[in-house]
Amino acid sequence: MVKYKKENSYEKLNKFEQEEMYKYADEYIKFLNAAKTEYKCVDAIKSELEGAGFKDISCFKVLVPGDKIYYINKDRSIYAAIIGESAETLGVNIIGSHIDSPRLDTKPMPLFEKHGMALMKTQYYGGIKKYQWLSIPLAMYGVVYNESGEKIDVVLGEKDDDFTFVITDLLPHLGREESEKKASEFIDPENLNVLVGSIPDLDEKEDKVKSKILKALNKKYGITEIDFARSDIRFVPAFDAKYIGIDKGMIAGYGQDDRVCAYATITAMLNLIEEGKTLNKTAIALIVDKEEIGSEGNTSMNSMGFELFMTKLLRLRGKESREDLLQTLDNSYMLSADVSAAVDPMHDHLSDIQNGNIAGCGISIEKYTGSGGKYSANDASAKYMSYVMNLFERNNVNYQLGTLGKIGKGGGGTIAYILAAKGVEVVDCGTALLSMHSPYEVASVIDVYMTYKAYKAFFKG
């Protein structure tokens, strides 16, 4: 009789696998530190793929088993595939994850001066607890277009610099009024202004500090104030991801939602086949953007970019009709590779422990997400759950069966429903996090590694 038991399987891994796990975790930490925005993630993933022999889909006239391709959708999402032996219309194996994370974006006209300081106005992106973004070091990452339409890459306040940025917080001594407020009103989002300078430019008559900052930006990047309006500038935590605990059992870092799954998706694909071998089914990795704001926009999972990529892929495999595309989707399997909540020891009354994710007990399979009466949920079928569970068991993947939290206490969504609506069998399957959506999210090393192992097993089928 098989009994379901959640347990940390670290001790069960042999020495070799423990070493492999930490090698993987070391590289994952480097990725988190190198790729803190969706733009940076696409760049990093593209160079990894090219290093492993993947080529832009436009380089091919025909695709044959073993071919390795990628397609970039507008600098902010990237799809990759390894062509398998069987016809795509019989089904492909898809893993979809996202690379946008909660952050602070600058407003179109962000820079202003007040009381001798220059600040930048922001608008938060995704679900954040605003107080967590005060009094922490912030780095500025920007893609800016100047008046001649040239793209300029801006990185300021990160490790290479001896300065950083911060949003100041009120001293407790003057916090009496503030402490009367409800948590939801505690921080006015209009006050999430980032301190960027304080030395006046004495050649100027007014806005002396702001002018000094504009001149510095112009000197370094050739940009002017109006260029802010044609930019994607994000403030993200400036600190590095690191192991947590004396035993190094966990990893904390910004953007693990959902780069932990995106990194696993790509790394699984890179290590999928040995030289000269082929896959049975075509494996497809979808690394998308804009999940945190509801999968809107032309780089999200909802965009036609995916359909365009699939149409190109199928045409290069000799399948040109609309029916071929729909048949492919209808016969395909997908893991919606996104993070979930781990049971927090300080807030465990919000979780149904039996159906919760315990950090360290493996990758989490969630039959459904959404909220309340399964609203907005992709409820994976019993048959497909059976397929995924059996696959993981055969491949010694440590997994647990999770839900986000108690019914009625909240909820959340992923990209699962999007491809499910197109006929694909989909289930949510990813790493459980503590402090999700905070500037320093926490994951267990073993769960991080099991996510990679699970995705590799899934691609192989």
Min CB(340)–Mn ion separation in Å = 9
Query: Please, which residues have CB within 8 angstroms of residue 407's CB and are 6 or more apart in sequence?
Result: 352, 372
Residue 424's Cα: distance from chain center in Å? 22
Structure-token pair, residue 425:
């069998």
* Residues at the site binding Mn ion, with contacts judged by CB under 5 A: 257-258, 338
Q: What are phi and psi of 157, to 5 degrees?
A: 80, 10
In the DSSP assignment, the letter for residue 274 is -
- The CA radius of gyration of the chain, in Å to the nearest whole number, is 23
Instruction: Give min distance, CB of 373 to Mn ion, in A.
Output: 22
What does the DSSP 8-state code read for residue 344? P
CB of 241 to Mn ion, least distance (A): 17
Measured from the CB of residue 368, what is the shortest distance to Mn ion in angstroms?
15
Min dist CB 454 to Mn ion, Å, is 17
Closest CA to 156 of 174, 170, 139: 139
Find tokens 């693990």 and name the residue: 256
At 340 the three-state DSSP class reads strand
Sign of CA dihedral 249, 360, 253, 395: positive
User: By the 8 A CB rule, do 454 and 397 touch?
Assistant: yes
Please give the helix or strand (H or E) that residue 263 lies within, else none.
helix 256-270
Nearest approach in angstroms of CB 301 to Mn ion is: 11
